[in-house]
Amino acid sequence: MPSGSHPDRRSLLRRSAAAGLLALPGVSALAACASGGGNEGAVEREAATDANPFGVSSDAGLEVVIFNGGFGEQYALDAEQIYQGSYGPVDHSATQEIASRLQPRMVQGDPPDVVNNGGADAMAIAGLLANRQVHDLTELLEAPSLDDPAVTVRETLRPGTVEKGQFGGDFGEGFYQLNYAFTVHGQWYSRAALARLDAEYPRTWEEMLAVCEAARRAGMAGWTYAGQYPYYLAFTLYPFIAKIGGAEVLRAIDNLEPNAWRHEAVAAAFSAYHELTARGYVLRGTPGLSHEESQAEWTAGRALFIPNGSWVENESRETTPDGFDMAVGPPTGLDEGDALPFGTLWACADEPFLVPADAHNLPGGLEFLRIMLGRDSARNFTELVSSLSCVSGAADGLDLPPGLASATQALDAAGENTVNPRLRDWYRQLHDVEIGGAVARMMAGEMEPEEAVAACQRAADAVARDDSVPKFRHA
């Protein structure tokens, strides 16, 4: 992919960042979070037209940084080719070290023009917002869509996509993050493996334990998960909590309400998950596995279920054998007394993209996202990576692989019974380290469920009391 020619200021700062000069030892955490040095030398907008609503200059280079995870980078490279057909060259890079590489540049006011802020090393969006380092993308929403100028970009998006990019509080109705994929989270499994057990997909926890026992007798574990990244467990644990006690339990947790983690639905869900460990139904060694290692164990047939998102089909493509018949089901419920129906699952727009406030070519960043939201790019994304996009109807008529077809069916069956927890978006340190750590210790047999609940509540209370942490809240 051709590289753009950026001003000397940008090249100099990039070389300095690579040399470690922008993150010297001894720099305070406060300084490391400070906002950038302004939008010096930014590209001026040209006159807007129907075809060029943001006034992109044809001679300004665009820099795009992609998280090279489960979705890879080809879908972005293809969208960049479309961009280059009308505008300047694109400087493309892909990495799994988003924060490590980009945080110094954000601090110095020299960010890329578009950032796919994904993965375990993503920059904390709360900190970026607090320091006004992210451009409000509302103008993208109100721009004409790429395929039909009579339809706005907003009108092409799946329900919930706009809300997922909003953060409320001090940020009002601003739209700061475009979540490009539409992810179905749940219990992923092999239909072929379940059929070999002569078992039905478990709808209640009693049925789950029976299926896991049948799996053990057949020489396989009931569950595995990404032990090194225990927030993967939340993909089924959170909707399980909502099924038991109602969606308001998750809203209270997101809102850091007092005693939210002490709700009886949380206690019941933690106890159920702990029982998987206590009965020996979790694959030995799981607490030490990465997400890729756990997926490889699963596709090798050593575990029946894995909590994951719909990116898993593409991410585990190389290890998935023929005839595996990948599928996803909604999280198993507790019993007939659940507050929400069996089909309830966590489905939402995911895979965040942002345009930094100090972007050199801000109009180009907006136009690149508009191109990605065009029908051709959205269909290409689905065909390449086996995931739905946030563009409504873009996958209609496509021949979907088994996992994605299953995810689409689960989403259709859920209807309005979907949940979208925001705790990880709003308080990543709390979610991934404190909450994730407590759940991980419980699943490793190092902590009882009631101890894990207490640890989660203490961590949430500490964040609620900390005035230095930006707060967000459901309406």
SS (HEC) of 365-427: HHHHHHHHCCHHHHHHHHHHHCCEECECCCCCCCCCCHHHHHHHHHHHHHCCCEECCCHHHHC
How far is residue 180's CA from residue 166's CA, in Å, rounded to a whole number?
14
256: left (phi over 0), alpha (psi -120 to 50) or beta: left
331, 337, 339, 344 alpha-carbon torsion, rounded to 10°: 20
pLDDT average, residue stretch 422-444 = 95
DSSP strands (E only) in 61-130: 62-67, 90-95, 114-116
Angle at 320 between CA 319 and CA 324, to 5 degrees: 160
Q: What is the pLDDT of residue 419?
A: 95
pLDDT digits 0-9 by tens, 308-366:
999 899 899 999 999 999 999 999 999 999 999 999 999 999 999 999 999 999 999 99
Q: Are residues 270 and 384 in the same domain?
A: no
Distance (Å, whole) CA 135 – CA 133:
7
In tens, the pLDDT along 123-155 reads 989 889 989 999 999 999 999 999 999 999 999
pLDDT at 348: 94
pLDDT at 41: 66
Judge if 103 and 167 occupy the same domain.
Answer: yes
Domain that includes residue 289, residue range = 184-347+418-465
Please tell me whether residues 376 and 427 are part of one structural domain.
Answer: no
Supply the pLDDT for residue 60.
87
Q: Quick one: average pLDDT of 380-385?
A: 94
Q: In the predicted model, what is the mean pLDDT of residues 380-388?
A: 93
Whether the predicted pLDDT of 7 surpasses 60: no
Average pLDDT over residues 117-126: 91
- Total Cβ atoms within 10 A of residue 336: 8
Residues 423 and 283 in one domain: yes
Q: Is the dihedral of CA 68, 69, 74, 76 positive or negative?
A: negative
| pLDDT greater than 70 at residue 16 | no
Residue 135 forms part of a structural domain: yes
| Interval 18-39 mean pLDDT | 36
Six-digit token string for 419 = 């949940």
Q: Is the dihedral of CA 41, 75, 105, 36 positive or negative?
A: positive
315 and 457: one domain?
yes
Average pLDDT over residues 3-30: 33
- 119 compared with 338, residue with greater pLDDT: 338
Give yes or no for residue 168 having a pLDDT over 80: no
Q: What is the pLDDT of residues 68-91, one digit of tens each?
A: 998 999 999 999 999 999 998 999
Whether residue 257 is contained in a domain is answered as yes
- In this structure, the answer to whether residues 210 and 63 fall within a common structural domain is no
- Dist. CA 254–CA 306, nearest whole Å: 24
Residue 26: per-residue pLDDT: 29
* Statement to judge: residues 172 and 211 lie in one domain: no
Judge whether 144 and 383 are in contact, CB under 8 Å: no
| Domain assignment of residue 432, yes or no | yes
Grade residue 5 by pLDDT with cuts at 50, 70 and 90.
very low
The predicted model gives 111-115 an average pLDDT of: 98
Distance CA 133, CA 100 (A): 16
Whether residues 143 and 162 fall in one domain: yes
Determine, yes or no, domain membership for 473.
Answer: no
Instruction: Evaluate if residue 28 carries a pLDDT over 70.
Output: no
In this structure, is residue 472 part of a structural domain?
no
pLDDT of residue 40: 61
Euclidean distance between CA atoms 37 and 210, whole angstroms: 60
The b-or-e profile of 230-249 (16+ CB within 10 A means b, else e) is bbbbbbbbbbbbbbbbbbeb
Residue 98 pLDDT > 60: yes
In sequence order, the β-bridge partners of residue 182 are: 349, 388
- Per-residue pLDDT at 268 exceeds 70: yes
Q: Is residue 160 part of a domain?
A: yes
Residue 4 scores a pLDDT above 50: no
Least confident of 173-177, 237-241, 452-456: 173-177
CA distance 370 to 377: 10
Return the structure tokens found at 23: 């993150």
d(CA 401, CA 368): 28
* pLDDT over 70 percentage in the chain: 91
Residues 6+ apart with CB under 8 A from 204: 332, 333, 334, 335, 336
Task: Determine the pLDDT at residue 386.
Answer: 87
Radius of gyration in angstroms for the set of CA atoms belonging to the chain, rounded to a whole number: 23
10 pLDDT above the threshold of 50? no
The whole-number average pLDDT for the span 89-100 is 97
Shared domain for 203 and 171, answered yes or no, is no
Q: What is the CATH number of the domain that holds 378?
A: 3.40.190.10
194 lies in the same domain as 280 = yes
On average, the pLDDT of the chain sits at 90
Residues 340 and 354 in one domain: no
Residue tagged 């407590």 (tokens) = 438
Closest CA to 51 of 148, 140, 135: 148
**Mean pLDDT of the region 12-37:** 34
Number of domains in the chain: 2
Give the count of beta carbons closer than 10 Å to the beta carbon of residue 376: 14
Identify the pLDDT of residue 354: 98
Q: What is the pLDDT of residue 169?
A: 72
* 447 falls within a domain: yes
How high is the pLDDT of residue 170?
73
158 with 286, same domain: the answer is no
**Furthest-apart CA pair in the chain: how many Å?**
70
- Assigned domain for 309 exists: yes
User: Mean per-residue pLDDT for 426-447?
Assistant: 96
